[in-house]
């Protein structure tokens, strides 16, 4: 009787080890890196669009994530629109805790950000916004995100479509950006600023 019980325990342990081992082996063959990218055409000159998106604080006006917690606490370090500026946030479970830093600016063309997530889990990502003039009064804006999931967490990439999940948020943000920059209010404010400058 004891040997039969021992055999059952050994078989159960073997099955349990197999259940644990299979996902770990599969994860060895699943890619770790992923990229999300979305774009929009905005009916404004490239220099105006770039001058708006280079300021990290302006993301509060168009990013979907800024709307997920109206009580989110923010802290800013440095001079916005310049390399080294940091926007830190802490909020509810939807936004968590982290910070975003401007790490490179190619005037009129591209801004690169480093995003450091702290809660609900630690992770790093590179983000960027690219502006490209396609006509005198039309600009293509590309918002992108590069990151990776370490082994064995990369196994989740088989079940979660991050391109769709993050991509939808980027699409919302870009449509918000388009609405802001193409609005009559923005155009009138911009015209006033140019008159006052001249």
Same domain, 147 and 61: yes
Same domain, 39 and 12: no
pLDDT tens by residue, 37-67? 899 999 999 999 999 999 999 999 999 888 8
Same domain, 51 and 64: yes
Q: Order of strands across the sheet with 73-77?
A: 33-42, 138-148, 123-135, 110-119, 97-106, 86-90, 73-77
Same domain, 94 and 142: yes
Same domain, 116 and 142: yes
**pLDDT reported for residue 144:** 87
**pLDDT reported for residue 177:** 96
Same domain, 125 and 166: yes
Contact (CB, 8 A) for 157 and 149: yes
**Residue whose structure tokens are 């004891």:** 2
Q: From CA 191, how far away is CA 82, in angstroms rounded? A: 24
Contact (CB, 8 A) for 173 and 63: yes
Task: Determine the structural domain holding residue 15 and report its residue range.
Answer: 1-30
Q: From CA 16, how far away is CA 103, in angstroms rounded? A: 47
Same domain, 121 and 55: yes
**pLDDT reported for residue 193:** 46
Same domain, 19 and 97: no
**pLDDT reported for residue 122:** 78
Same domain, 78 and 18: no
**pLDDT reported for residue 152:** 54
CATH number at residue 113: 3.30.530.20
**pLDDT reported for residue 174:** 94
- Count: domains in the chain: 2
Please name the helix (run of DSSP H) or strand (run of DSSP E) that holds residue 124, with its range, or none: strand 123-135
Same domain, 47 and 79: yes
Sequence-separated contacts (24+) of 178-183 with Cβ below 8 Å: 178/40, 178/41, 178/42, 180/52, 180/61, 180/62, 181/42, 181/44, 181/48, 181/49, 181/52, 182/42, 182/43, 182/44
Q: Rounded to two decimals, what is the model's pTM?
A: 0.73
Low-confidence ranges of the chain (pLDDT < 70): 1-6, 8-34, 147-163, 165, 184, 186-198
Same domain, 5 and 41: no
**pLDDT reported for residue 198:** 38
Same domain, 5 and 58: no
Cβ atoms within 10 A of the Cβ of 27, count? 19
């Amino acid at each position: 009787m004891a040997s039969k019980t021992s055999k059952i325990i050994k078989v159960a342990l073997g099955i349990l080890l197999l259940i644990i081992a299979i996902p770990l082996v599969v994860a060895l063959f699943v890619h770790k890196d992923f990229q999300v990218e979305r774009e929009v055409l905005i009916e404004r000159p490239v220099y105006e669009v770039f001058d708006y998106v280079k300021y990290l604080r302006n993301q509060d006006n168009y990013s979907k994530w800024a709307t997920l917690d109206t009580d989110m606490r923010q802290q800013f370090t440095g001079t916005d629109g310049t390399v080294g500026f940091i926007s830190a946030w802490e909020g509810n479970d939807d936004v968590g805790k982290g910070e975003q830093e401007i790490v490179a600016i190619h005037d009129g063309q591209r801004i690169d950000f480093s995003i450091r997530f702290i809660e609900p889990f630690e992770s790093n990502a590179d983000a960027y916004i690219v502006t490209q003039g396609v006509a005198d009064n039309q600009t293509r804006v590309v918002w992108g995100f590069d990151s990776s999931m370490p082994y064995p967490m990369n196994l989740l990439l088989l079940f979660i479509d991050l391109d769709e999940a993050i991509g939808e948020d980027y699409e919302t943000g870009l449509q918000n950006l388009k609405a802001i920059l193409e609005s009559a209010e923005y155009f009138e404010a911009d015209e006033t600023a140019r008159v006052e400058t001249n």
